[in-house]
Structures are given as structure tokens and as C-alpha cells.
Amino acid sequence: MFIHLESVMSTYAMALPTAVVVDIGSTKTSVCCIEEGIIIQKSIIRKNFGGDDQTDLLLRLLQSDKALHYFPEGKINLKYGYHHYLIEKLKE
């Protein structure tokens, strides 16, 4: 049995000896450099924002843009599953 970090395994899956791996989760973003299958410790960066924050920002931009008269201002609530799904699809 082997225990490896997900970022190292992603480079093995792509057959890359050296890579920069960016992991954008829903609440955090991580970046690290991998060389010859080893993570360079000084290259690890973690930020406390992720995909959910990007979704919220996209909704704010869509609602504030005056050119988008057809977008319902104030009627979208990300706490509702369907509304969150719609904004996620727009983000994609």
C-alpha cells in the first residue's frame, strides 16, 4: 500500500515528471510544484477561497452589470439548490 498526495498522483496519471498542480476546491485553492514525483515544499500555496467564492462573484457581476437587463436582480438566492445549479452551469 502506498500513501501519496493527490497532486503527486495526478502527475503520475499524466506521465509528467514535472508539473505545477492547481487544485480548486469549493472552499480553498492549492498550488504546488512537483519535480520528479516530489513536492517542492517551498512552492506550496493555499488560499482560503475556491469555487463557491467564484460562483458568488459571478452572480454579483451578473446582477450589477447594467447591460444585462434580462438577468433577474435580487431574485437569485444561492441557498436554493436550483439557483445554485443554474449559476454553476453559467460558470462552466
CATH of the domain at 29: 3.30.420.40
Q: Do 5 and 39 contact (CB within 8 A), yes or no?
A: yes
DSSP state of 38: E
**12/29 same-domain check:** yes
Q: What are phi and psi of 19, to 5 degrees?
A: -160, 160
**pLDDT cut 90: percent of the chain above it:** 30
- Helices 51-64 & 81-91 angle (0-180, nearest 10): 90
Check residue 46 and give its pLDDT: 93
Mean pLDDT across 54-82: 76
Kindly state whether residue 1 falls inside one of the protein's structural domains: no
Query: Residue 25's closest CA among 58, 2, 52, 60?
Result: 52
Check residue 68 and give its pLDDT: 60
- Residue whose entry in the numeric block shows the C-alpha cell 502506498: 2
Query: Does the structure show a pLDDT above 70 at 9?
Result: yes
Query: Residue 49's closest CA among 83, 25, 32?
Result: 25
* Tally of domains within the chain: 2
Residue-wise pLDDT tens digits, 14-55: 999 899 999 999 899 999 999 988 899 999 999 999 988 998
